[in-house]
Structure 1
Amino acid sequence: MQRDALRAAGVRRIYQEKGSGVGPRPELHRALDSLQPGDVLVVWKLDRLARSLKQLWDVIDRVKLRKAGFRSLTEPIDTSSPLGEFVLAVLGALAQFERSLIRERAIAGQVAAWRRGVRWGGQPRVLTDEDARELVKLRETGLFTVRMLSEIFACSESTVWRTVWLATKPSAGKLRKRGAPVLSLYL
């Protein structure tokens, strides 16, 4: 059906991928490389050309660099005319707007999750806030070495040093890692 539609549209040379649209697409690259100024790349439908908007824009950019046009038989897109350029620009703007909305919603969801206490990224915390307060108190007594505290709390010596440092340096709050105990809980 697609080949018939392309022939009926006057397409002289047809490039056809044999495999899936996922992964390398050698025939598409051959078609793009063979474009000459004034040629028009014709597709039956946009989804035959690209699997995402980014891919579509990349292909359209390559077509424009070759000073060629683009036409879809099933969508009203023909970049060889001013109206086709306009339609493509409007569709691109709508798609960009949609991507922005999706990104905005994703960020809002992450912020809401963070406020509910959901943590992600990095390694899980080794010490609870209560353990961190206890560790700092024990260290301040001077009776326990860093090695002893790391064995008592089943953590590394660097965790002990970091916990003590965060508790004793008020300016360290800016440097503390996500998920580390909050300084005000120690003091």
Structure 2
Amino acid sequence: MTKFAYIRTSTKDQNPALQRDAIAKVDDIKRVYADEGVSGTLASRPQWDALLDRLEPGDEVIVWKFDRIGRNTINVLEAVKAITDKGATFHSLTEKIDTSGPMGQAMLTVMAAFAQLERDTIAERTRAGLDAAKAQGRTGGRPPAVDANKLEKIKKLIASGDYSRAEIASMMKISPATLYRVIATL
């Protein structure tokens, strides 16, 4: 039996150290495959695909948490099926789930369903919060870089023909890209 580990972070900003530390405590791991800055919802993840191609009967795939292999119940179960179809087993360190037996497979299904419920509940709360804020007249995001007053000044400067776009952007203390986006709306 050969042990392989898989690590995934969704964004480049996320730090995989926690996953790497947990995996480092497991003996005899032949190779760690890592997709960093790759969403779990993507069908193709280069290192995940390489790991699946490499698997042989009797191998074991180890992850820190089972949500590293998929973002919803269906993704996780499909990923585990891809592993078990190769004759390999799946082991999640955090949830202590091991698919080498029927109880581990059943627990994986239950845990994946609860993880999906948690993500859906968080998304629902976020949407409700955003809707409540919108109803109160608040909107998210950065304030606009160009208000109505600046827009009028920009129009006058452009109409005068005395200044380059770069000079106008500098005078208005905005980036040239912002100026071009404003001009495109005129």
Range of TM-score over shorter length? 0.3 to 0.5
Greater relative contact order, per chain length (Cα 8 Å cut-off, separation 6+): 2
User: By percentage of residues, which structure has more strand?
Assistant: 2
Per the normalisation by structure 1, the TM-score is 0.46
Q: Which entry has the higher C-alpha Rg, 1 or 2?
A: 1
Query: Greater share of helix residues, 1 or 2?
Result: 1
